Amino acid sequence: MKIALLALLLSVVACRPPQEETDYSQLEVTAGPGFTEDEVKDALENAKITCEQAASSGRLQQRVEQVVFPATRDCEFNESADDNEFWEINDQLNGPRKNDRIRAAIKQDRSLSLPAGSTLCDIEFDFPTQSMKYDDEILLLLNNYVLFMSTDYSTDSSYSQYQSEGLRINSQGLVEFKWLDENNSANDLYNLDYGHNKAPKFCQGINPNQSDYDDICEIPATETTGQFKLDIPKSDIVTMGALKFDESSSLSDLDFSFVSTGDNDDGDCEHDEFYFNVTVIYSDN
């Protein structure tokens, strides 16, 4: 099994005032799944030294990329099963249609890679103002952690079913995305109650009780057209990138995913095109 440890320092630049220059010495050491605190400390310390040296000697490199998730139309439900046979899964890992149950999803993945042997030192996110319509629910992920979701499906949600069966929150306070685990169905999104009007929206690390919540966590309601605004705390973005545990992707991949879901209707899982820009800052050692 491959363990990827990346030290990422990221900042969301849209809808936020300019940030101070990153202080690489202030990275907090936390242990993620499968890692000891010493392993995490070593990985972050090595990245800190590399990035500090590259910054002081003017060797930091920069690359601007746009991440685009094309428009989607229609879930691929399992049409050969009855609606109460939720365990009957097709090749797309979707179940039969069932009103008010999350039975299907489309997950689009986009990876950005750095040159081999390089060290990632910073990422700036820019979410341009854009109008978008979707149906039923959407989630944006980084390295399989939730950046935002149109309904809070986490175990910290206000809705009772999600509190016991929703997406798990790890010891670092990050929501771990899991669609379907046939061997252990706890804490996955599949077959949860469809959350329309059951729970509020969710943006990682933003307190819904703070006065400017709607200004920095703006997600249009399902089946409407609206604008997005997002301002995730830098510390949470750093943690999402600092620990990566994935057999399928490279050490230097940044894995973004966009998930749309449906319960039973034609047109579920649809969304208009969604995009954002990233500025990747790294040392080529």
pLDDT band at 90 (very low <50, low <70, confident <90, very high): very high
pLDDT band at 18 (very low <50, low <70, confident <90, very high): very low
Q: Report helix, strand or coil for 240.
A: helix
Asked if residue 267 has pLDDT above 60, the reply is yes
The domain total for the chain is: 1
Asked if residue 284 has pLDDT above 70, the reply is yes
CB 5 within 8 A of CB 253: no
pLDDT band at 39 (very low <50, low <70, confident <90, very high): confident
Asked if residue 230 has pLDDT above 60, the reply is yes
Encode pLDDT of 93-118 as tens digits: 999 999 999 999 999 999 988 787 77
Q: pLDDT value at position 113?
A: 84
Both tokens assigned to 63: 């690359």
Q: To the nearest whole number, what is the mean pLDDT of the chain? A: 81
CB 200 within 8 A of CB 207: no
CB 188 within 8 A of CB 180: yes
Residue 267 belongs to what domain range? 4-283
Total residues belonging to the chain: 285
Nearest alpha-carbon partner for 152 in 193, 100, 203, 117? 203
Q: pLDDT value at position 86?
A: 93
Asked if residue 169 has pLDDT above 90, the reply is yes
